């Protein structure tokens, strides 16, 4: 079950994934609408924004974590203190996709909740010739086997970036209409794009 906004009106979203998959790029594109092509190593960085939701002030924290596995204690603490999780991999890096499997297991173990709010994000969707992870394979695993939500995005091309954050907020029961920060770019989150790549499997689940 998704978590409701706490009495303090504060939620924390955490981005997890291997190094170089674009966690920082997605966050920077969302907050600043900029893209830095050069990868810069992140240890841990917290971004905090306040929004007005139905007349109440809600503090949304976005935690950008290290892709290094040399900080297990820090990662566990990040999981313990967060409300929703974006597991990010790069579509041109099959190994990064494998890494989100163990991260998901760690989240379920630490949170002791098999229905923890998790969104799997395939970043670098603009990469076509170098693609190593097929959309239908990732979607099948995430949506059919794990019963989690899945999106492909491109921080570089600014594709589905807003949708990533909207889905995370939806999973913690926050309305997608936030102000004032988002109004600098658009009045509301855009209408959800329900178009999905074709799948060979039936009974596929879409993001509601």
Domain ranges of the chain: 10-184
Residue with tokens 């099948």: 140
93: pLDDT strictly greater than 90: yes
* pLDDT value, residue 143: 96
Tell me yes or no: is domain 10-184 CATH 1.10.530.10: no
* pLDDT value, residue 107: 96
Q: Considering only CA atoms, give the Rg of the chain.
A: 16
Coil, helix or strand at residue 50: strand
Give the CA count within 13 Å in the CB-facing half-sphere of 182: 20
* pLDDT value, residue 39: 62
pLDDT in tens, 17-73: 999 999 999 999 999 999 887 766 666 789 998 877 667 788 899 999 887 666 778
pLDDT in tens, 138-194: 999 999 999 999 999 999 999 999 999 999 988 987 765 555 444 444 334 444 444
**pTM confidence score:** 0.78
Contact 119, 149 (CB under 8 A): yes
């Amino acid at each position: 079950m998704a978590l409701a906004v706490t009495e303090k009106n504060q939620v924390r979203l955490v981005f997890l994934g291997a190094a170089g998959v674009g966690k920082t790029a997605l966050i920077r594109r969302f907050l600043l609408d900029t893209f830095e092509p050069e990868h810069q190593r992140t240890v841990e960085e917290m971004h905090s924004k306040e929004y007005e939701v139905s007349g109440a002030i809600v503090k949304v924290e976005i935690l950008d974590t290290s892709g290094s596995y040399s900080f297990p204690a820090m990662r566990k603490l990040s999981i313990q203190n967060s409300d929703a999780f974006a597991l990010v991999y790069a579509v041109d890096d099959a190994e990064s996709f494998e890494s989100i499997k163990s991260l998901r297991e760690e989240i379920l173990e630490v949170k002791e909740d098999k229905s923890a709010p998790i969104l799997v994000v395939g970043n670098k969707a603009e990469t076509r010739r170098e693609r190593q992870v097929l959309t239908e394979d990732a979607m099948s695993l995430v949506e059919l086997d794990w019963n989690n939500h899945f999106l492909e995005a491109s921080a570089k091309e600014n594709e589905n970036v807003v949708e990533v954050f909207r889905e995370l907020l939806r999973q913690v029961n926050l309305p997608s209409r936030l102000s004032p920060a988002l109004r600098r770019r658009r009045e509301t989150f855009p209408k959800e794009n329900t178009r999905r790549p074709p799948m060979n499997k039936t009974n596929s689940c879409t993001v509601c």
